[in-house]
Amino acid sequence: MSLFNFHSTPNPNSLKITRTDGIPFISSGMASFNSALEASEHPVAAALFQIEGVTNVFFLSDFLTVTKHPEARWKKLQREVEAVLERHCK
């Protein structure tokens, strides 16, 4: 069973991700990254930007949202996002 649940959002290019174990993604506040350069100091965001098609990563303590380029397909991206989270969010 996965540690992560994926939820659709009103934006078809964004997925909301929550953890099944209740551990926060970040300790407080929020973090938003629009590029790999902006995300370079944040290991999880930087890894997510290594996935082709990711255009934004937004963190709150209880969820994160990944936004993709409109031409990218969720079927492939979701597997890659989950793999990154499994490696970096244990």
**Per-residue model confidence as pLDDT tens digits over 16-28:** 999 999 999 999 9
Residue 72 pLDDT: 96
Q: What's the pLDDT score for residue 3?
A: 92
Residue 89 has pLDDT above 90, yes or no: no
Which residues form the domain of 13?
A: 4-88
> 18-38 burial, b if ≥16 CB within 10 A, otherwise e?
ebeeeeebeeeeebebeeeeb
The whole-angstrom separation of Cα 31 and Cα 3 is 21
Residue 29 has pLDDT above 90, yes or no: yes
Average pLDDT for 27-54: 96
Q: What's the domain count of the chain?
A: 1
Residue 34: band (very low, low, confident or very high) from pLDDT cuts 50, 70, 90: very high
What CATH number is attached to the domain comprising 77? 3.30.1370.70
